Amino acid sequence: FWQGSGKLAGKVALITGGDSGIGRAVAVLFAREGADVAIAYLSEDRDANTTKQAVEAEGRRCLALRGDVSKRAFCRKAVEQTVKAFGRIDALVNNAAFQVHSADFADLTEQHFDTTLKTNLYGYFHMAQEAVPHMKPGSAIINTGSVTGIEGSKDLIDYSMTKGGIHAFTRALSGNLIGRGIRVNAVAPGPVWTPLNP
Catalytic positions, please? 159
Give the strand order in the sheet containing 36-41: 62-66, 36-41, 12-16, 91-94, 140-144, 183-187
Question: Residue 26, Cα to own-chain centre: how many angstroms?
Answer: 10
Closest CA to 147 of 183, 119, 120, 186: 186
Closest CA to 162 of 106, 115, 110: 115
Rounded CA gap, 19 and 41, in Å?
6
User: For the chain, what percentages of helix, strand and coil (3-state, to nearest 5) are there?
Assistant: 50, 15, 35
Buried residues in 1-13 as b, exposed as e (16+ CB within 10 A): eeebeeebeebbb
